Structure 1
Amino acid sequence: MTNPPDQTHSTEAQPTRALVLHPDTRAGDRSARDPKYALEEAVSLAHALPGLEVLGGDIVRLPKPHPGMLFGSGKVEELRARIEADEVDLILIDGAVTPVQQRNLERAWKVKLLDRTGLILEIFADRAATREGVLQVELAALSYQRTRLVRAWTHLERQRGGLGFVGGPGETQIEADRRAIDDQMIRLRRQLAKVATTRELHRAARAKVPYPVVAFAGYTNAGKSTLFNRLTGADVLAKDMLFATLDPTMRSVRLPVGEAGGLDVILSDTVGFISDLPTQLVAAFRATLEEVLDADLVLHVRDISHPESAAQARDVETILEQLGVSPDVPRLEFWNKSDALSADDLEATTNLAARQENVFLGSALSGAGLDALLAAIADRLEGRVMESDILLAHDAGRARAWLHERGLVTAESQEEAGTRVSVRWLAEDAARFRSRFPNEADSAGIVAPPEVD
């Protein structure tokens, strides 16, 4: 991808020495957060980026952000002295920094600087593994860079017109760079559209055996991948690290419950959410999170041992709402990492979970509580997968085509009275079929909720 001017990845043996600063504004979107835990999260973000030697972090009281420098002149000078004494190479600001503030601080401190959005973009760029993930990160990074060209081009000199016409002095360097970025973003969106088409084909292929989809959602580092690995036997990267999983991973598994000996489902592990997720990434990764949008059940995995677990849960719910996940989709909460709680906290949390519906306490690491969780998943999903045998008249071509387009037909044979099709579908598919083709549904005895669109 096109690297920003302040690229932090280094191929040299010496790591980049980084210092993390959390501006405590006591205002804005993160006002309810304890600055101590916000700083801890920011330091964890810094540790998640390879090639950095994180020297530590500080909370900087900031009653009122300075429009040109973010910090006041006294604090800027105080930090400059520390930066020089500790030989810091990179400053990471846990918050939003305007292009002008970033340019001025880099000049004053003579080091590179990344704000929270820039750092998260760097981590995502390092972690993206699939073609779609790489393209999405690149698109998000270009969108971010487009707003920050003032840092790279401060002279604003104009180029001469190059077509031989008599006219104005030409375009500024910033305008030329912005146009180049816009062209590249258009190319990336075209490539992403092709990738999205491929994902649609994969989804149609899965629909031929339409197992219910259970999508894992949760704050980053909540233990989703550890739970996914335990349930599926997969080898998804699971570390005590923010954004250990970036690209979605799906596995078909049979839950060992139910009278029929099990229930086949598809589990989907997705990227972890985080507070103040850059808007560029929310938009760019919408396609990656389509599995959550299409899920039959959302499993919200929470790190119940984290001091700000409740605030993290609110952030996850906010992002799910922004993504357009329907509130009608069944949801369960798994309060993970119970093994990290003290005896007193475990007792209190157990009592709290028992009083709440659709909440299960346990540990993906030890396996505690997973039997109850799996039984609840099966209970919510059993009955949603149906098998039907439909005899379609010879003139019911539209109904037959509708079934084939959705990959619902598992077998088909010709008879004198028409075409007999065997379908495997979810209850919602049966309801839609009934609403569109009531005569065919009646003849097959298909009964489905008419309120489903």
Structure 2
Amino acid sequence: MTRGARALVVCPDIRSQRSAHDPEARLEEARGLALAIGLVVAESYIVPVRERRPGTLFGDGQVERIRTDCELHQADLVIVDGALSPIQQRNLEEKFKRKVIDRTGLILEIFGERAQTAEGRLQVELAHLDYQQSRLVRSWTHLERQRGGFGFLGGPGETQIEADRRLIRGRMAKLRRELEQVRKTRELHRKRRGRAPWPVIALVGYTNAGKSTLFNRITGADVMAEDLLFATLDPTMRAISLPGVEKAILSDTVGFISDLPTQLVAAFRATLEEVTAADIILHIRDIANPDSAIQKAEVLSILADLGVIPEKGGESAIPIIEVWNKWDLLDDERRAELRPLADADPDIVAISAVTGEGMDALLGRLGEILTKGARLHNLDIPASDGARIAWLYAHGDIVEDRDIGEGATGPMRHIAVRLSEKDFGRFAAMES
């Protein structure tokens, strides 16, 4: 797909499959997906579909209208914001005389362009092959190879399409083995971080909710943060300090989206597993988006699929703070309407990652959660054990520190320190 190519974006509004998303909002999101990969949207509109046509999805008159608009607007390709079967895609390409791509294919194209790490590229290739193998429509059986066997008993040889499918299956098997190794490596890294004294905070949210902008605001990093869908694909981690917590790890993740291709849900399992190992989840919402409530439901649905929250509601095993981002884009009336709701719930924080409004409240809330349940521990430690004493100063609230004379191993110090249960477990696991 060439950057700068002109695209005609059509959003089928199928009566029998009406979703909670407003058709206009869905069309705007489809335009955003096209722009995210550098396409020029020549024209876009909603096409009401009374009943899906198995061959083309659209009715004959609608197909003719789209074909005419392609000519009128000199479109190089047609983007259908919905799922097309391989037959439908092939038939539409024949009628339009142009490349046709559906929502899944478009998202895969974006992921393929944005993935930077070796793991990300592996995941994208696996997802793309999984999608592509179903697109090998039997339209080129003339490439059937020579008959196999001998004499009249030999059957037809392997067709090109069968050979391609075999090659794709072999490549997918190899990618799955490599990704499984990546998953094991990630698991080892997580266990190592688990032994380390640093809590992990994961940012999740609908794509373009402002996760990377918030990440940059907190960490001072320079992660790609643009007004584009899927600006971030590969997980990024940085160390930060919080009130009462000298060091924590902040993790930015891939944005969620409605109708995320099933191939990508499976392929990005290793990346999304970072969320399941977090100590706190920050759910970033674009509170200025008219579809914000629907986007929230999409994110919670994926978190439920990952096992982070119960399938049928209930409390998450991992604390979740809902961050109402883009507060600066709301008018005064909407702010006045939402402010009491945010103030009434300690797990909702209204912010603007662009202006910095509400950031102190957010960081303070993170510090509260991470230091919650801290108990006073009275510890007698050898004065020579500087590493563990420094660790206590870095991760606890020191109430008292005094020399108590000689012990079996030399001079001793008595330290009274407040530690969370998790931090005390980490301290106890350290070698003396």
The two structures, once aligned, show a CA RMSD in angstroms of 2.8
Match of 2:356 among 351, 355, 367: 367
Give the match for residue 21 of structure 2.
33
**Any conservation in 2 of the 1:302–1:335 contact (CA below 8 Å)?**
yes
1:228 aligns with 2:215: yes
Match of 1:159 among 141, 145, 162: 145
The DSSP-based 3-state class of the residue aligned with 1:251 is strand
In 1, Cα distance between equivalents of 2:304 and 2:142:
41
Give the match for residue 248 of structure 1.
235
1:349 Cα offset (Å): 1.3
**Any conservation in 2 of the 1:25–1:31 contact (CA below 8 Å)?**
no
Match of 1:278 among 257, 261, 266: 261
1:214 Cα offset (Å): 0.6
In 2, Cα distance between equivalents of 1:169 and 1:357:
70
1:307 aligns with 2:285: no
1:216 aligns with 2:199: no
**Any conservation in 2 of the 1:210–1:385 contact (CA below 8 Å)?**
no
**CA spacing shift, 1:319–1:156, aligned 2, 3 Å:** farther
1:263 Cα offset (Å): 3.8
In 2, Cα distance between equivalents of 1:267 and 1:319:
20
The DSSP-based 3-state class of the residue aligned with 2:225 is coil
The DSSP-based 3-state class of the residue aligned with 2:141 is coil
**CA spacing shift, 1:178–1:432, aligned 2, 3 Å:** farther
1:306 Cα offset (Å): 0.3
The DSSP-based 3-state class of the residue aligned with 1:129 is coil
Aligned length: 387
1:187 Cα offset (Å): 1.2
Runs of at least 5 residues in structure 1 that lack an aligned partner in the other structure: 1-7, 392-414, 417-424, 435-439, 445-453
Give the match for residue 394 of structure 1.
none
**Percent identical residues:** 53
In 2, Cα distance between equivalents of 1:236 and 1:210:
25
TM-score by length of 1: 0.79
In 2, Cα distance between equivalents of 1:205 and 1:75:
57
Give the match for residue 270 of structure 2.
287
Give the match for residue 2 of structure 2.
9
**Any conservation in 2 of the 1:263–1:378 contact (CA below 8 Å)?**
no
Give the match for residue 395 of structure 1.
none
1:390 Cα offset (Å): 11
Deviations 1:243-288 (A, max 9, x none): 0000000111111x23xxx442111000000000000000100101
**Any conservation in 1 of the 2:322–2:347 contact (CA below 8 Å)?**
yes
**CA spacing shift, 1:388–1:36, aligned 2, 3 Å:** farther
The DSSP-based 3-state class of the residue aligned with 1:288 is helix
1:194 Cα offset (Å): 2.8
In 2, Cα distance between equivalents of 1:389 and 1:57:
68
In 1, Cα distance between equivalents of 2:422 and 2:162:
51
The DSSP-based 3-state class of the residue aligned with 1:64 is coil
1:79 aligns with 2:66: yes
The DSSP-based 3-state class of the residue aligned with 1:302 is strand
1:355 Cα offset (Å): 2.9
1:9 Cα offset (Å): 3.3
In 2, Cα distance between equivalents of 1:148 and 1:388:
66
In 1, Cα distance between equivalents of 2:211 and 2:112:
21
Deviations 1:208-262 (A, max 9, x none): 423111100000000000111111111100001100000000111111x23xxx4
- The one-letter amino acid of 1:159's match is R
Deviations 1:339-371 (A, max 9, x none): 000111111111222233411111111111111
**CA spacing shift, 1:99–1:184, aligned 2, 3 Å:** same
Runs of at least 5 residues in structure 2 that lack an aligned partner in the other structure: 310-315, 382-407, 410-418
**Any conservation in 2 of the 1:128–1:137 contact (CA below 8 Å)?**
yes
